[in-house]
A and B are shown apart, each in its own frame.
Chain A
Amino acid sequence: MRSAAVLAVLLLSGTATAGFATSEPDVGAAHFELDNGMTFLVVERPGRPLVAAVVAVRGGSASDPAGRRGLTHLVEHLLFAGSRTIGTTDWEAESRLLSRWENLYERSVRRGRTDRDLLRLEQRLEALQQPGEFAGVYAWAGVVGVDALTRHDLTTFHALVPKEKIELWFWMESDRLHGPVFRGFRRELQVVEQERRQRIDSTPTGTWFELFDAAYWGAGHPYAHTPGGERREVERLLPSDARSHFEALYRPDRLIAVLVGDLSLPEARKLGERYFGRLQTSEGNSRIPESKETPAPAVGSLEGLCACRSQVEIRYPTLPFAAAGDTVVLDFLAGLLNSRSGRLYRELVAGEDRVAYAASAEHASRRLGGYFAVRIEAGGGAGPEDLTAAWDALLDRVRSGGVDDAELRRVRRQLTTDSWRQLEQDAGLAGRLAAAEALGGWRQLTMWLDAAVSVDGDDLQRVVDRYLLAHERAVLSLTRTGG
């Protein structure tokens, strides 16, 4: 649980499958706002035994303060430690010890060593703490799928709640946002470190993609680090950092709740007002600075050896997320290249040369910028340069030969049925609605499909000519060790 999408999980992008049909099945979300600015989206689905519920925050690792990369992700983890009510046997006694512990802990971080007083105090604290109570209350009530995710522009908390017990979800989620207690801080740093090792350090390509992201976006760019952050900065984070970041990021007007299931709108509104209505913006708290001018993405190549299939990722800078214009055309282009009858499979994987083992395209468009990426893994004895050359040749054929009507019809059809499929699962729909709302409004999902099915061959030629330019791209080339 509490996973972070350390390698970029992208919002509404990539395989160009997000979107909803406007004409036939409609997502049917109702929207309301509380006085404190918190947004609610409700999709009523009578008869469902579970309600898919999401609390989302408009902000993810791109909101990490300078020098504290990984803080947003750590706060996400700490929010499972409970509150003044949940996770403690005696809050008054615990809070006194906790403030002493924080002082000792800050001193130990400054000195670079853990002193015995700190460990003794931790033992006394443990006697007062119940770190599993948050999960325990949910488990006892039959709430399942409790999880959280930190992405670049968004942090989400997920649960599937028996419909009879939906009020518990309102209680628990509003309680931890109302008065979280970041207990078990030192242990959670260890867990975050374990997560990083599992997701990045232990995978053959993890470190390379992390380096590529850093190089591509450039130092200081909010997307230059993965949500897990920088190890050296994470291990020096303090409880006070977590508290002030929480107050800045989790302001009510940055919060979104999405509920999909057998819950009526009036009931959701009543419970929303009762529970989340108590959240207030703290006076004088710090604010998340809006990103200033960000550096332009890098051009060039990063090359390395890896115990993995030889492969390349070729990135072209594009546009931030939008449900219109060239962003959508680039999403469509990814659809044209993908799938078994798409150009990548047909020409690189199943073609005569069979230069590739696998290949895919993705348009990753986030709030502050986007890129079009092609990933190709080598088949047989091909090296990265062969893969790049094969892609260049394919792109030239798109440029010179254009796109035929059958291809356009195929992609439109796939995007439309994919958009229906995304309505099938309540939990998936709740997550997508939260993400779309954070990127400018849930209706963008519908608008996106309307725009996507109108894309034509001229549009595709235009974006290929405008964005997929060799002199603007960045390339990660990995060669199999010993290969």
Chain B
Amino acid sequence: MGRFFVLAVCVAAPAVLPAQAVPAHPADLQFAPSLFEPPAVSGMRFELRNGLPVYVVPDRSLPLVDIVLALPVGDRNEVPGEEGMASMTAAMARRGGAGDMGPEELDDTIDALGARVDSSSSWTRTVFVLDIGSETLERGLEILASIVFEPRFDEDRLAQARDNLRVSLAAREDEAYAVLDREWQRLVHGPASPRSRRLTEASVAGFERDALASFHRRLWRPDGAVIAASGDVEPELLVARLDGLFGSWQGLPASETDADRKAGPPGGSAAPEAVFEAAAASPGWWTVDRPGPQASMALGHRGAVVDRWDAGDRWALLLLMEILDGPGSVSRLRSRLQLAEGLTYRVVTWFDLDVVAAEARSERSLNHGQGEFRIFLETAPESAAAAAAAVLEELARLRREAVPEVEIATARRSLLARLPLLFDRAETIAGRFAEDELLDRPHEYWSVYRGRLQAVSAADIRRVAQRFIDPEGIVLAVVGDSEAVRAGRAAEELRRVLGAPRLVETQ
């Protein structure tokens, strides 16, 4: 009882203040420490007969279930001439009918269930999503399996998709951002890089039923795939059902994949991972002339590679990027470009730091990552040079000077504050752990996250700034009214740093 009494006094102490008293400053508020710890994975991971991992996180509060199947197949698996094949195969698996259902019947069936079924592909993965009421889950799972294993790639829907892609190709210059994205990537990765490949008339013409079926047969395999499930489910029952549908999935043996490749469409077909020589980047200041009231720009260079998720430099780089351009207007780029100078409405920054084991790295001939360090912003053409010069100055300052402790502490808190967002619902928890599996990221990553960030010092941050930010390799591309950009404020200063602006010959 005595202990209870003491506790009660502590809890009640603030009530000594008048009922309506408002502390003068937020610093006067007292908070309990944050109790958030990422959930442990134990009990969530299952395996099907074929080894396919399944993460299940039940949540019975709503009669809904989310199932996500991800395969480690994407644009990077395409070979020249096949641009867009990964995305097209994924999209048409959903749209082109499956099993004994033609496209219309498949659409009708999914919609009548009130379900959402989507499939799409990105640079590294192909993802299928089933979002459905729990009482119709069984039917939904059958449909999902049918889309994965028995896509029909209906000829008529394919022709429609090709027509639509041709319309998109004709419109590819419409949006300044699309032009910037394409040209900046070409300058940064080199024209031969898979990152620089874009859809062409020829690749669209190649989206024939047989070509998609071949890509599907060769590359959609269970090795490296993962399933995340969440919502109104009984884990054991669900896993048993998934095992019935996906547990015997083996994919083609390697020998048949090779044979199939030899017999494949002209130009060959994708190796499981397309190997390429990193092409030279084209550092400097580039412009694409495009009259209008606004200029878009991207500034940066290729991303980088470390050999493990827990590499010290990785943690320091996370903090460095938060200091440079974390969300909220406390970061350096936002406080300078938005708050101090009113130059832009939005800055977007990311730094891809790929994790590639040292032995794998030499095989791929990669010194740099395939990703990017990119700072994107829009501003008036006459302010573009000033904005770019300000960004370069901030990058130089990070390499030159130690970041003050209070700034590091704010960045650390801000990063840690977003940690709960990554685990805030059953769906995100299952997805996060499944993503670990896809990325080969140990689940322990999350349990050491807080401690590792806390151990990063100002010296570490300066070191990674010097290691990963390369002033000599900076590519600046500006899409906008070139004359106004070149004559803008601080254009001379920018010339001294990056050299004279050169006009991009757009393709």
Residues on A lying within 8 angstroms of B by beta carbon are 1, 24-25, 48-50, 80, 85-86, 131-132, 135-146, 160, 162, 164-165, 167-168, 171-172, 174, 184, 186-191, 194-195, 197-198, 201-204, 273-275, 277-278, 307-309, 339-342, 345-346, 349-350, 354, 357, 378-380, 406, 409-410, 413-414, 416-418, 420-421, 423-426, 480
Cα distance A168–B29 when bound, in Å?
7
Contacts of B327 in A (CB 8 A): 1, 144
Q: Tell me the nearest residue of chain B to A339, going by C-beta.
A: B111
Of the candidates B63, B131, B424, which one forms a contact with A50 in the assembled complex, judged by CB atoms under 8 Å apart? B424
From A85, A142, A309, A406, give the contact of B417 (CB < 8 A).
A142
The majority secondary structure among interface residues of chain A is helix
Is the Cβ of B328 less than 8 Å from the Cβ of A135?
A: yes
Of A135, A141, A350, which contacts B329 at CB under 8 A?
A135
Do residues B414 and A350 form an inter-chain contact, with CB atoms below 8 A?
Answer: no
Interface residues of B (CB under 8 A from A): 19-26, 29, 31-36, 61-64, 95, 103-104, 107-108, 110-115, 131-133, 157, 160, 163-164, 167, 171, 173-176, 292-294, 296, 326-330, 334-335, 338-346, 378-380, 410, 413-414, 416-418, 420-421, 423-425, 427
Expressed in whole angstroms, the Cα–Cα distance for A198 and B296 within the complex equals: 9
Contacts of A190 in B (CB 8 A): 342-343
**Known contacts A143-B417, A195-B345: does B31 contact A164 (CB below 8 Å)?**
yes
Q: For residue B335, which residues in chain A have a CB less than 8 angstroms away from its CB?
A: 131-132
Contacting pair A167 B29 (CB below 8 A): yes
- A233 to B63 CA separation, bound complex (whole angstroms): 50
Q: Which 5 A-B pairs have the closest CB atoms?
A: A142-B417, A190-B342, A49-B420, A417-B114, A413-B114
Interchain CB contact under 8 A, B174 and A204? yes
Cα A196 to Cα B40 in complex, Å, equals 45
Q: How far is the CA of A416 from the CA of B132 in the complex (A)?
A: 11
* Further contacts, 19 of them, CB under 8 A, given A167-B29, A354-B160: A25-B62, A48-B424, A49-B423, A131-B329, A132-B335, A139-B414, A141-B413, A164-B31, A164-B32, A164-B34, A171-B26, A194-B343, A194-B344, A194-B380, A198-B378, A277-B20, A278-B20, A309-B167, A417-B114
Most chain A beta-carbon neighbours within 10 Å: one of B330, B344, B379: B330
Q: Are A417 and B36 interface neighbours, CB within 8 A?
A: no
Give the CA-CA distance A140 to B110 in the complex, in Å.
46
- Known contacts A190-B342, A194-B343, A202-B294: does B62 contact A423 (CB below 8 Å)? yes
Given contacts A135-B329, A146-B328, contact A410 B293 (CB under 8 A): no
Q: 6 A–B contact pairs at CB < 8 A?
A: A139-B417, A165-B34, A171-B23, A172-B26, A350-B157, A426-B424
Inter-subunit contact B115/A417 (CB<8 Å): yes
Which residue of chain A is the closest to B95 with respect to CB atoms? Answer: A340
When C-beta atoms are compared, the residue in chain B nearest to A161 turns out to be: B417
Q: Which residue of B lies closest to A413 (CB)?
A: B114
Complex Cα gap A132–B410 (Å): 13
B33, B61, B345, B413: the one contacting A139 at CB < 8 Å is: B413
Asked, given contacts A278-B22, A409-B112, A421-B64, whether A164 binds B326 with beta carbons under 8 Å apart, the answer is: no
A414 touches B114 (CB 8 A): yes
How far, in Å, is B36 (CB) from chain A's closest CB? 5
Also in contact, A168 and B26, with CB within 8 A (given A162-B36, A202-B378, A341-B111):
yes
For B34, what are the chain A residues with a Cβ–Cβ distance below 8 Å? Answer: 142, 162, 164-165
Q: Which residues of B contact A406 (CB under 8 A)?
A: 108, 112
| A147 nearest in chain B by CB position | B327
- In angstroms, Cα B157 to Cα A346, docked, is 11
Complex-state Cα separation, A354 to B344, whole angstroms = 41
Contacts of B416 in A (CB 8 A): 142
Report the nearest A residue to B113, measured CB to CB.
A413
- Residue of chain A at shortest CB distance from B59: A424
Query: Is the Cβ of A354 less than 8 Å from the Cβ of B163?
Result: yes
Checking A165, A273, A307 against B31 with a beta-carbon cut-off of 8 angstroms, the contacting residue is: A165
Determine the distance from Cα of A113 to Cα of B33 in the docked complex, in whole angstroms: 52
Shortest beta-carbon distance, A180 to chain B, in Å?
A: 16
In the assembled complex, how far is the CB of residue A162 from the closest CB belonging to chain B, in whole angstroms?
5
Given A135-B329, A168-B31, A172-B26, decide whether A420 and B133 contact each other with a Cβ distance below 8 A. yes
Q: Are A132 and B329 in contact (CB under 8 A)?
A: yes
With A202-B176, A203-B175, A273-B20 known as contacts, the answer to whether A379 contacts B31 (CB < 8 A) is no
Chain B residue with the shortest CB-CB distance to A196: B345
Closest B residue to A409 using CB positions: B112
User: Shortest Cβ distance from B291 into chain A, in angstroms?
Assistant: 11
Query: Do residues A341 and B22 form an inter-chain contact, with CB atoms below 8 A?
Result: no
Pick the residue among A1, A85, A132, A409 that contacts B25 (CB under 8 A): A85
Q: A273 to B18, alpha carbons, bound, how many Å? A: 12
**Cα separation A160 to B133 with both chains bound (whole Å):** 28
Q: How many Å from the CB of A356 to the closest CB on chain B? A: 9
Return the chain B residue nearest A426 by Cβ.
B424
**By the criterion CB–CB under 8 Å, are A197 and B380 in contact?**
yes
Query: Which listed residue (B22, B32, B175, B340) contacts A275, Cβ 8 A?
Result: B22
Interchain CB contact under 8 A, B114 and A49: no
B379: nearest chain-A partner, CB-CB: A194
Give the complex CA separation of A252 and B12 in angstroms.
Answer: 30
In the assembled complex, which residues on chain A have CB atoms less than 8 Å from the CB atom of B24? Answer: 85
Q: Which of A24, A86, A197, A378 contacts B378 (CB 8 A)?
A: A197
Contact of A164 among B33, B171, B379 (CB under 8 A): B33
> Is the CB–CB distance between A139 and B410 below 8 Å?
yes
Query: Complex: how many Å from CA A406 to CA B107?
Result: 13
A357's partner among B167, B173, B334, B417 (CB-CB below 8 A) is B167
- Within the complex, the shortest CB–CB distance from B199 to chain A, in Å, comes to 15
- The answer on a CB contact under 8 Å between B292 and A202 is yes
A466→B345 CA distance, assembly (Å):
44
Q: Are A144 and B418 in contact (CB under 8 A)?
A: yes
Closest residue of chain A to B156 (Cβ to Cβ) is: A350
Assembly CA distance A274 to B15 (angstroms): 12
Which of B110, B173, B293, B425 contacts A424, CB < 8 Å?
A: B425
Question: Please, which residues of chain B bring their CB within 8 A of the CB of A418?
Answer: 114
Provide the residues of chain B in CB contact with A416, threshold 8 Å: 114, 133
Residue of B24, B293, B296, B425 with most partner-chain A CB within 10 A: B293
Q: Which chain B residue shows the least CB distance to A308?
A: B174
